[in-house]
Amino acid sequence: MRRSRSARLTLGLETSCDETSAALVERDRVLSNCTASSLREHARYGGVVPEIASRAHLTALLPTLDLALRRAKRRLSDVDEIAVTAGPGLLGSLLVGVSAAKALALALRVPLVGVDHVLAHAYSARLCDPAPAFPYLALVVSGGHTTIIRMDSPARVSVLGRTLDDASGEAFDKVAKILGLGYPGGPAIDRLSRGQAPDDRMFSRPYLSEGSLDFSFSGLKTAVYYKVQDALKTSGRLTPKTKRAMAAGFQEAVCDVLVKKALRACARERLSRLAVGGGVSANTRLRAKLDEAARRSDIRLYWPSMAYCQDNAAMIAAYGAALRRAGRRDTLELGAYSDFSRSPLLSGARS
């Protein structure tokens, strides 16, 4: 018989890309959050290789789950419900986590909740102290998605703006490859740009149509490529000084777009609470520019801790628990999806 507790214990599993993560959460209190990354195995290829990622999840999932239980000082039999990333992401990777979650839910006879990875990033600010009250806006900036989301409640969300081509994180990786900085590109460009005064005229800002909240960074990435080609034709090589200038100029352009559109969304929705989530939210220039702009506009910013900026199971568990409290529950027929537009929780997009 299960022992009585005032807070339900939620096990979260995350396997959407190249990180295998397991976490245990009671309400929004994280008891453990353990992550194993296969980044080193992908670095030699300049990006994530789906088959390698899937195999790494198969190897790492059970040891990561065991570590999460030990750190939380809980047993598997203590788990009251299971939340798992159902999408978006790499299908092979997602299926490893979804299959494991279904097997555990069946064996333990506990509820199962499929969680959208992008919306979990938006919810991750609820792990802050203090947490943002509903409604609030979330800017999700990750490798595969750049999205502005209005969250009126865990189960009531609206997409206000989204990626039309390359997401911000994807653009960082591609530009880093063009500049010969290696993978992952975001941290490399961030490091190289520190202390470098960016030339605001180096790259134009892709704001799209007037008033748009959507994002497009493919053209910016192409502009970097052509500047590199011009530099190579002129001097035959890309000097460290030129690399720093291009990295800083590119980063500044991306951050300007993210900041302007996030604040535009706040003004349009008449909301003064803005959460930022996803791997790119660790970028130091974005944090500095958004902090300054938010102060000027009297907007309260919520930054999750660095552990919750990257892909992690704590946000999956916390968001899954919130959805379960709102009445959501999935069956053992739960599947995986690669496209964010297929998320069952999306209530519509406005721009």
**Is 345 among the domain residues?**
yes
**Is the same domain home to 120 and 142?**
no
Q: Please say which residue of 303, 323, 339 terminates a domain.
A: 303
Say yes or no: 74 and 20 in one domain. yes
Q: Sign of the CA dihedral 156, 270, 317, 348? A: positive
Calculate mean pLDDT across residues 188-197. 94
Which residue's structure tokens are 């969300």? Answer: 157
What's the domain range around 62?
Answer: 9-124+308-349
| pLDDT over 50 at 234, yes or no | yes
**Do 142 and 282 lie in a common domain?**
yes
- Residues 247, 146: one domain? yes
**Residue 3 in domain:** no
Nearest of 256, 289, 294 to residue 275 by alpha carbon: 294
Instruction: Please give the pLDDT value at position 350.
Output: 42
Whether residue 63 is contained in a domain is answered as yes
The count of C-alpha atoms lying within 13 angstroms of the C-alpha of 323, restricted to the half-sphere facing its C-beta, is: 31
Work out whether strand 300-302 and strand 273-277 pair parallel, antiparallel, or are unpaired: parallel
Those residues whose C-beta lies under 8 Å from the C-beta of residue 88, and which sit 6 or more positions away, are 16, 116, 117, 118, 144, 145, 337, 338, 339, 340, 342, 343
Residue 200 in any domain: the answer is yes
To the nearest 10°, report the CA torsion of 208, 209, 212, 215. -10
**Statement to judge: residues 187 and 97 lie in one domain:** no
Residue 330 tokens read as 């999935």
> Computed over its alpha carbons, how large is the radius of gyration of the chain?
20
Strands (E), 103-261: 112-116, 136-141, 146-153, 156-161
Please state the rounded mean pLDDT for residues 307-335: 96
CB atoms under 10 Å from CB of 226, counted, come to 10
Within-domain flag for 4: no
Listing from the earlier edge strand, what are the strands of the sheet with 156-161? 300-302, 273-277, 136-141, 146-153, 156-161, 346-349
Residue 348's pLDDT is what? 43
pLDDT of residue 159: 97
Which CATH number do you get for residue 104?
3.30.420.40
Per-residue pLDDT reduced to its tens digit, 58-114: 999 999 999 999 999 999 999 999 999 999 999 999 999 999 999 999 999 999 999
pLDDT reading at 148 higher than 70:
yes
Same domain, 73 and 145: no
Q: What is the pLDDT of residues 258-281, one digit of tens each?
A: 999 999 999 999 999 999 999 999
Helices in 297-331 by DSSP H: which ranges? Answer: 306-309, 313-325
> Is the predicted pLDDT of residue 38 greater than 90, yes or no?
no
Do 297 and 312 lie in one domain? The reply is: no
- Domains contained in the chain, number: 2
- Are 61 and 148 in the same domain? no
Q: In the predicted model, is pLDDT for residue 299 greater than 60?
A: yes
Tokens of 50: 């789906």
Same domain, yes or no: 262 and 314:
no
Check residue 67 and give left, alpha or beta (phi > 0: left; psi -120 to 50: alpha): alpha
Same structural domain for residues 296 and 315? no
Q: Can you give the pTM of this predicted structure?
A: 0.94
178 in a structural domain: yes
**155 in the same domain as 60:** no
Alpha carbon separation from 12 to 2, 123, 168 (Å, rounded): 19, 14, 26
Round to whole Å and give the CA distance between 160 and 211. Answer: 11
Q: 110 and 176: one domain?
A: no
Give the whole-angstrom CA distance, residue 157 versus residue 159. Answer: 7
What is residue 336's three-state secondary structure?
coil
In a domain, 1, yes or no: no
Mean of pLDDT values over 206-225: 95
Split at pLDDT 50, 70, 90, the class of 300 is: very high
